[in-house]
Amino acid sequence: AADIISTVEFNHSGELLATGDKGGRVVIFQQEQENKTQSHSRGEYNVYSTFQSHEPEFDYLKSLEIEEKINKIRWLPQKNAAQFLLSTNDKTIKLWKISERDKRPEGYNLKEEDGRYRDPTTVTTLRVPVFRPMDLMVEASPRRIFANAHTYHINSISINSDYETYLSADDLRINLWHLEITDRSFNIVDIKPANMEELTEVITAAEFHPNSCNTFVYSSSKGTIRLCDMRASALCDRHSKLFEEPEDPSNRSFFSEIISSISDVKFSHSGRYMMTRDYLSVKIWDLNMENRPVETYQVHEYLRSKLCSLYENDCIFDKFECCWNGSDSIVMTGSYNNFFRMFDRNTKRDITLEASRENNKPRTVLKPRKVCASGKRKKDEISVDSLDFNKKILHTAWHPKENIIAVATTNNLYIFQDKMN
Amino acid sequence: QEKETITPERAEEAKLKAKYPNLGQKPGGSDFLMKRLQKGQKYFDSGDYNMAKAKMKNKQLPSAGPDKNLVTGDHIPTPQDLPQRKSSLVTSKLAG
């Protein structure tokens, strides 16, 4: 159970892919250098570094366990030879430095090669130590620990486009940090009511705008997204924009609010749009239009007539993520039965694919899947009742430049690329 | 005409209410959210927590079992007083 993948993220170049798991570990994969002669395939991803990011802790005040599960990983843009990423569990964010060592000093005068000190009286000549190549070693070390700033559970971290600050969001508050400063953070959103009995909504996700360093958004369990401008005030409790699709009151049911809860929000690379994921759909919003999304894609509408059992088995509370491709023309999200869906915003075509070893041979093109909602099931279709709701794809990521995707099933990571000619 | 068509969502709601008649009116209300804020396993105290963690780590080791026959300190034990020797984890190739 410890290797249940809980987050997947490509770095800015796409060369590295990080995964976090329930056991608090981070595994980083690196793409092989492209083989110039084998132009028909891009480099494979191999394990580059593995380290234990977080350990379980005990909250003495509340007598609650603090899980070591990694909720999110976000990469910093590369500034030098080392790579940096932020990883967070429910309470603590850590800045990790991942660096390579491929040479070591040899030929010390006072030390043997194994590190033991030489008797100085036996040293008769002096030599200059030199660096000699060694097998590549990748080391991960924690550089900053940002702790004790969140009473509730952290759901998001997002690095600002200024590359100096970042935000962390929990159920009720959002904090702004400076990457160099660990003993202080600024609270920029606080939706905790004075009387907790009046609590009606929680923060579900937050993200900085990719280009405007003063702008961020946060989504709620009631299906709203608020855009805030940090120039307006120190505490951004009043939003600059409120994005909400009006609800049809005649369609309201017990489930309406639960399925409208937004589980993920992601800006497009261009910064002009943002995408939200709720239980049944993916919506694209134009930042200039608050009253409704510009595009809506149904992920698995056939589940609407299964909401009762999905509520009973808690699946209705599953938090699916979503992602954009590099050119913002395709969006992707996961579903059940190890299915994941892609929507082409230009052609309006969509596809359902499956991440499973039994049903797909390596290096073969994935076969599109189809779920039969009702009525006569065609050959090769899967009926709703035979979907496996334990096989959920919550985390997916798209390479920033290429058509390479990473899809996480419960314990496995799949990397797919599009067919090259 | 179809004034009575029930949306699939409403039909599911009716199913749920039939199963759980006492279900609260506001699902997104305070109780539900409070439970969400409180996620995580509650322990009695840190000692309880550390014991639970230790128990998980020791799951592979054979459990000691209740020491019903503990006689040390009371009198000099005889062979009959001592607990049975537990069988080896690795059986000798010479046996059987």
Q: CB burial class (10 A; 0-12, 13-18, 19+) of residue A245?
A: middle
Question: Does the complex come out with an ipTM higher than 0.85?
Answer: no
pLDDT confidence tier of residue B4, bands split at 50, 70 and 90? low
Among A30-34, A122-126, A327-331, B20-24, name the one with the lowest average pLDDT: B20-24
A&B contacts, CB < 8 Å:
96
CB within 8 Å: A64 and B41: yes
Please check whether residue A300 is in contact with residue A336, taking contact to mean a CB–CB distance below 8 angstroms. yes
For B34, which of A199, A222, A257 is closest by C-beta distance? Answer: A199
A27 touches chain B (CB under 8 A): no
What is the pLDDT at residue A342? 98
For A202, which of B9, B33, B41 is closest by C-beta distance? Answer: B33
Q: How close does chain B come to A199, measured CA to CA in Å?
A: 5
Residue A415 pLDDT > 90: yes
CB within 8 Å: B28 and A221: yes
Q: CB burial class (10 A; 0-12, 13-18, 19+) of residue A146?
A: buried
End-to-end CA distance of chain A: 40
The residue of A63, A224, A312, A384 whose CB has the most chain B CBs within 10 angstroms, and thus the best one to mutate to test that interface, is: A63
Percent of chain A scored above 90 by pLDDT?
82
- Domain extent listing, chain A: 1-56+77-147
More confident residue, A40 or A400: A400
Question: Nearest residue of A to residue B44 by CA position?
Answer: A63
Q: CB burial class (10 A; 0-12, 13-18, 19+) of residue B1?
A: exposed
Residue B66 pLDDT > 50: no
Distances (CA, A) of A230 to A56, A204, A242, B3: 34, 20, 15, 50
Q: For residue B94, what are its two tokens?
A: 């010479």
Q: How close does chain B come to A65, measured CA to CA in Å?
A: 6
What is the pLDDT at residue B1? 44
Average pLDDT, rounded, for chain A: 94
What is the pLDDT at residue B36? 80
CB within 8 Å: B37 and A153: yes
Q: Which residues of B touch A69 (CB under 8 A)?
A: none
Residue A159 pLDDT > 80: yes
What is the pLDDT at residue B93? 55
Residue B44 pLDDT > 90: no
Question: What is the reported pTM?
Answer: 0.86
- Dihedral over Cα of A375, A379, A385, A389: its sign: negative
Q: Which residues of A touch B53 (CB under 8 A)?
A: 56
Q: DSSP string spanning A189-212?
A: EE---SSGGG----EEEEEE-SS-
Question: Nearest residue of B to residue A305 by CA position?
Answer: B8
How many CB atoms neighbour CB B18 within 10 A? Answer: 9
Range A341-360 average pLDDT: 94
Q: CB burial class (10 A; 0-12, 13-18, 19+) of residue A230?
A: buried
Q: How close does chain B come to A393, measured CA to CA in Å?
A: 22
Residue A340 pLDDT > 50: yes
Considering only residues 250 to 279 of chain A, which have any Cβ-Cβ distance to chain B shorter than 8 Å? 251, 253-258
Task: Tell me how far the alpha carbon of residue A172 is from its chain's centroid.
Answer: 20
